[in-house]
């Protein structure tokens, strides 16, 4: 009797390109998730290696020195994903050697996914490697990034997985990103077990946004706009009409609309709706409130209106959002 051959388990190889002053937390968060996945699965599903331009150690922004497994001249035929890890002073790291390396990887290994952690997105953009993809970057570099690359499809998400590009805002968002990837690779039970070990009360999704302080991104010269947004954020259950907001901040409604269009690329009504819907998303994923109560708490008078608005914005109904948690 002939024995049937077993299907070999899925395995994945990740690389982390380290540049000077990179942020250590996102890299270690991603690696720890993979390490724990291997432990939960009982086999080496994930392997990971560090890469520097010359194979020498590189110091992170906290002055901890990390050794390298590979240099830019190495072969990366067996790699599935390579993340560019950066942090402070990222503009200084956009050198020709890195651009040449990333371009070579893109051209030679077309099945390989390129990604970034923290401000590494800037380096991918500098190498002209994310012009066709949605992307994100750490919030306190968002203004600089938008000014440098205004034509890119930039989002304020925690992370963005778009075709052959993965960009992550950094910090603890890298753990959420990796847990979502692991869930896609090996199922929800595995990612949930890992989250429990790391005391993560929940796994945040790609739809969730970074909390970007408006004053940090716009500057103190836009006090009227900042006050308008603050008023919206403080009044999500009892929605204030735009004329009242205009009166409160002492500008005309037309001027208010111009401010939103110029600095936030949105209308006041649409921006207000986004604030309410993002609050609804948090309540649906973080609490046991009924869908009706969530809608009321976010300023929707009827459940059908809330459900339609939520589905139009997130691409999923509130009830299905709740089921997926």
* Range picked from 6-10, 47-51, 318-322 for highest mean pLDDT: 47-51
Lowest mean pLDDT among 198-202, 213-217, 259-263, 267-271: 213-217
Q: Answer yes or no: are the C-beta atoms of 160 and 138 closer than 8 Å.
A: no
144-170 pLDDT, tens digit each: 788 788 899 999 899 999 989 999 999
Report residue 3's pLDDT band, with 50, 70 and 90 as the boundaries: very low
Higher pLDDT, 215 or 93: 93
Helix axes 242-249, 223-234, angle to 10 degrees: 130
Domains and CATH numbers, the chain: 12-197 (3.40.50.880), 214-324 (1.10.10.60)
Positive or negative CA dihedral for 266, 268, 270, 273?
Answer: positive
DSSP code for 121? H
Contacts of residue 297, defined as CB under 8 A and 6 or more positions apart, other chains included, come to 236, 237, 279, 280, 283, 289
Q: Answer yes or no: are the C-beta atoms of 27 and 174 closer than 8 Å.
A: yes
């Amino acid at each position: 009797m002939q024995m049937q051959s077993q299907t070999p388990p899925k395995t994945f190889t990740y690389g982390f390109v380290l540049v000077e002053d990179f942020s250590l937390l996102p890299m270690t968060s991603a690696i720890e998730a993979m390490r724990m996945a291997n432990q939960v699965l009982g086999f080496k599903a994930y392997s990971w290696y560090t890469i520097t331009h010359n194979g020498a150690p590189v110091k992170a922004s906290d002055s901890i020195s990390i050794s390298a497994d590979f240099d830019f001249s190495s072969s990366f035929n067996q790699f599935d994903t390579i993340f560019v890890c950066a942090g402070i002073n990222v503009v200084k790291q956009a050198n020709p050697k890195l651009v040449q390396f990333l371009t070579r990887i893109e051209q030679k290994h077309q099945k390989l996914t390129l990604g970034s952690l923290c401000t590494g997105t800037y380096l991918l953009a500098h190498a002209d490697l994310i012009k066709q993809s949605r992307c994100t970057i750490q919030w306190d570099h968002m203004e600089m990034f938008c000014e440098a690359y205004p034509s890119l499809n930039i989002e304020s998400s925690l992370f963005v997985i778009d075709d052959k590009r993965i960009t992550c805002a950094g910090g603890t968002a890298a753990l959420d990103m990796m847990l979502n990837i692991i869930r896609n690779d090996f199922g929800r039970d595995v990612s949930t077990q890992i989250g429990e070990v790391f005391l993560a009360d929940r796994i945040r999704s790609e739809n969730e946004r970074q909390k970007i302080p408006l004053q940090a991104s716009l500057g103190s010269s836009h006090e009227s706009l900042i006050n308008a947004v603050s008023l919206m954020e403080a009044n999500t259950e009892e929605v204030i009409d735009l004329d009242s907001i205009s009166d409160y901040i002492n500008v005309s409604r037309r001027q208010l609309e111009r401010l939103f269009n110029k600095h936030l690329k949105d209308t006041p009504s649409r921006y207000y709706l986004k604030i309410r819907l993002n609050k609804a998303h948090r309540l649906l994923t973080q609490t046991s409130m009924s869908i009706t109560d969530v809608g009321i708490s976010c300023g929707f008078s009827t459940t059908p209106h809330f459900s339609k608005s939520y589905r139009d914005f997130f691409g999923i109904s509130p009830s299905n959002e709740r089921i997926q948690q």
